[in-house]
Structure 1
């Protein structure tokens, strides 16, 4: 595969839109009854924002951008994934995983910023 990070970002975007629609339509009553609608919306928001960031990182072709992109992918999986799972199962201990995903998302932004300051990024 020539552009694995672009593929990962495109797949993340596809899944983010699909999960957003699934939550808004098929799961709307279930999520509302469990008081988890806002949790689902937060998961989708961060998922889609970072899917776009991953696409940028994959297209930039620079080392720090790629590192940032993989941090964001890990963050999507841990942050949004734990929120999706918690919203679907109601199992609150999954919330302990969420901050780890948040740290991965923050790490990605920090790496991108460092790349911009050091001149090896297209930001």
Structure 2
């Protein structure tokens, strides 16, 4: 995995988290309940945290690997994007239930990514 791809991926996820955060804070503020808005914001925060980690790893290639890249990238997609889907579908009264079990799988991948960073650093 090239450093540029890791950096670009981190930047795209970071950019999208700013867009989604603004969308949630402005466009969805009147549509979502406080609980739904908090869940949406959790997805945005975790997406941004891991986007920043991808950027740091892209600029410090000795600490990263393809496994870490994929754990964080797929973890963001499964964790944050399933939360977005759950919240938005719930707000429309048609909650997409199959997304519920996907969120913890994404979280597990994010955790594995962190564990791999520890292993690569030892």
Superposition TM-score tier, normalisation by shorter sequence: 0.7 to 0.9
Shift of 1:2: 6.4
Number of matched pairs = 115
| Compared CA separation, residues 2 and 57, structure 1 to 2 (3 A) | closer
The equivalent residue for 1:121 is none
Shift of 1:69: 2.6
The equivalent residue for 1:23 is 24
Q: Output the CA distance in 2 between the equivalents of 1:57 and 1:10.
A: 12
Once the two structures are superposed, the pairs formed by residues 31-46 of structure 1 within 5 Å of their partners are: 31-32=32-33, 35-46=35-46
Q: Can you list the C-alpha shifts for 1:34-53, whole angstroms capped at 9, x where unaligned? A: x4111101101101100001
Task: Return the match for 2:116 from 72, 91, 111.
Answer: 111
The equivalent residue for 1:65 is 64
The equivalent residue for 1:95 is 100
Q: Report SS of the residue matched to 2:64.
A: helix
Shift of 1:80: 0.2
TM-score for the superposition, normalised by structure 2: 0.87
Q: Output the CA distance in 2 between the equivalents of 1:11 and 1:76.
A: 12
Once the two structures are superposed, the pairs formed by residues 2-21 of structure 1 within 5 Å of their partners are: 3-21=4-22
Q: Can you list the C-alpha shifts for 1:51-96, whole angstroms capped at 9, x where unaligned? A: 001111222223x613313211111100000000111111252111
Unaligned runs of 5+ in 2: none
Unaligned runs of 5+ in 1: 118-123
TM-score for the superposition, normalised by structure 1: 0.86
Shift of 1:30: 1.1
Q: Report SS of the residue matched to 1:31.
A: coil
The equivalent residue for 1:120 is none
